[in-house]
Amino acid sequence: MSPLPDILSQLNDDMRRDDDWGAVASYIPELAHIDPAQFGIAVTTADGEVFTAGDAETPFSVQSITKVFTLAIALGRSGDQLWRRVGREPSGKAFNSIVQLEQENGRPRNPFINAGAIVTTDEILTGRLPREALAEILQFIRAAAGDENIHINDVVARSEKSHGHRNFALAHFLASCGNLNNTPNKTLGTYFHHCAIEMSARQLAMSGRFLIETTKLPRLIRPPRIRRLNALMLTCGHYDGSGDFAYRVGLPAKSGVGGGILAIVPGVASVAVWSPGLNRYGNSKKGTEAMASLARDMGWSIF
């Protein structure tokens, strides 16, 4: 018998034992009133098995985790041309930092910080309407998860848009450097909406299967690109906490300010964990702890 169900159940108990859950993101008003004392985890294996524990069926705002999907789509659309507009280096700065963008002349360090994800969204949007771009993003995620019941929460998108001054600052700065093809309003409208996609931990783990790299599952993108997405998740997926996450967990992963983390065990599994309270880097506090514990117990590390 696989030890996974027992390990997940034990992990769920452990995570609920101490009540230091971290603080939920408050700069998106709609997310500010979510109860931080929630925890869910789901693992889907390359063999097609799914194991869950805790609040694994509760939908949450996946936020920046969608940046993995938008990067996959933008690379599919534009190939290596995309790298003219955005870099591939860790930023060492907060996800919404402004200062580096000016120092580096409007070319964001990587596609996972906000400025970089605004650029990949803009790339997907070029020549299309926002609703067409959003339909493609949703279609990709639903196909990856094998689940049509994945939607955008419009209230969350509007809540972020009406308070998104930092992202507007980033988008206007990108535009001033000639690195935005659409208006800031149009690009950010699309960006806020894809960030507001909701999934449960189970759905998120399922949607991450395309990054496992296995012949046992249907392929959405080719293996060289899967490896590159994983490389970027490892080096940039947790912003200025990426080094710490790689040290503690040793797996490529992407976090979101809604408290979700999608981690990939290459060739083996896709793991989604959710707990809405965040640590000082804006990444899920218990989610990071749970990933470190799971990786240790399962012997999962790319190193």
Window 39-68: contact mask with ligand DON (x via CB under 6 A): ------------------------xx----
Q: How far is the CB of 65 from ligand DON (least distance, A)?
A: 7
Q: How far is the CB of 159 from ligand DON (least distance, A)?
A: 10
Under the criterion CB under 6 A, does residue 256 sit at the interface with ligand DON? yes
Question: Which residue number, 45 or 187, has a Cβ lying nearer to ligand DON?
Answer: 187
Tokens representing 119 are: 């650029």
Query: Is 167 annotated to bind ligand?
Result: yes
Catalytic residue, chosen from 43, 61, 62, 67, is 67
Question: Which residue number, 51 or 112, has a Cβ lying nearer to ligand DON?
Answer: 112
Binding piece for ligand DON, criterion CB under 6 A, among 45-53, 73-81, 227-235, 255-263: 255-263
Q: Which of 70, 283, 288, 300 binds ligand DON (CB under 6 A)?
A: 283
What lies within 8 Å, CB to CB, of 12 at 6+ separation is 39, 41, 53, 54
What lies within 8 Å, CB to CB, of 1 at 6+ separation is none
Amino acid at 233: M
Upper half-sphere CA count for residue 93 (Cβ side, 13 Å): 17
Q: Which of 38, 167, 179, 288 binds ligand DON (CB under 6 A)?
A: 167
# residues contacting ligand DON (CB under 6 A): 13
Query: Is 239 annotated to bind ligand?
Result: yes
Binders of ligand DON among 144-163, rule CB under 6 A? 160
Under the criterion CB under 6 A, does residue 288 sit at the interface with ligand DON? no
Q: Which residues have a catalytic role annotated?
A: 64, 67, 191, 239, 257
Report the interface residues with ligand DON, using CB under 6 A.
Answer: 63-64, 95-96, 114, 160, 167, 195, 255-257, 282-283
In the annotated binding site for substrate, the residues are: 64, 114, 160, 167, 191, 239, 257
